[in-house]
Homo-oligomer: A and B are copies of this chain.
């Protein structure tokens, strides 16, 4: 059960105190309280776990501080969609809105290799009116003997260049809690010229300790990628680890599933799950066409597979695209074979625009019917 309190009613109020006393009369119920501080108002939700069947929803609704009550199903309690659930499916971070209803493109470097590459990338983004990017500083690699990313050393110039070129949000993978601290420090040291979306990669989808720590900080939104050896259901449960610790600014990322039935693609593209995630949860859905496809192969129609699968994501309602570019793919230190070139950024964005427009026509078609 989730109890949404009235605006600006917090846990110190008399209204809440009375409500809490009432609930604590029933045994075996745990209360988790979440505050969402907007610019003008505070929103507080109380998640009850345990033997809530003993409580009367009507009675709880009648308490003065209560706005409304949602009876949640067992799964995806916080991020899920439940009956009569009108909680929002969006959030705004550093001026950029993330929602199940819009689309943001994060084109950028899989791995930061040099300030020159970063600047070339960000300049190109600004020229095309983009305010988001991806920049990998910490790279988890299969072998300990492979390049592991430039780490915290590259953060200052990445953030400064982001500020210079008007980038508002950088998606950046973290694989350890210390990376969050390093990012926070580097942002402060450079005067917060940009924002960061923390990315949890497929190898860490069930690294629950990392999820808990990242979920406890409320500053950065989090992009959680689907785990490649587990079911969709298990990956959605992992997202709840973030939310149950307090951070509900969560985006769910599809990036292909590892199995040889996807050959010759690097992974089998799983973007058909976009409508599933949007049906089951309130999270915006991101796609990663670069890691799904893993090559620059193009079809007999001369269009890159990466662009075809991007189009497949967008036509079904994807809300975010994470895509690898590089000024010189042949020199990229990680995943060069799948990177697009900077001169392909314009056509890529135009392709996305064409397909998103078609998606909106589809929405309008079915809107009129239901």
Binding site for B on A (CB under 8 A): 49, 75, 77, 81, 89, 100, 140-145, 175-176, 203-204, 206-210, 212, 227-234, 237-238, 240-241, 244-245, 257-265, 268-276, 278-279, 292-293, 297-303, 305, 307-309, 311-312, 315-317, 347, 350-351, 354-355, 357-359, 361-363, 365-367, 369-370
Contact = CB atoms under 8 A, between A and B. Distances in A.
Contact of A308 (B272, B293, B300): B272
- Among A260, A299, A301, the most chain B Cβ lie within 10 Å of the Cβ of A301
A145 to B, nearest CB: 6
Contacts of A298: 275, 279
- Among A140, A176, A298, A363, the most chain B Cβ lie within 10 Å of the Cβ of A176
A299 B272 contact: no
Nearest to A227: B229
Contact of A278 (B258, B271, B301, B362): B301
B265 A276 contact: yes
A303 B362 contact: yes
A207 B208 CA distance: 11
Contact of A299 (B278, B302, B369): B278
Nearest to A369: B347
Contacts of A257: 229, 261, 268
Nearest to A229: B229
A140 B238 CA distance: 11
B271 A261 contact: no
Contact of A270 (B227, B261, B302, B316): B261
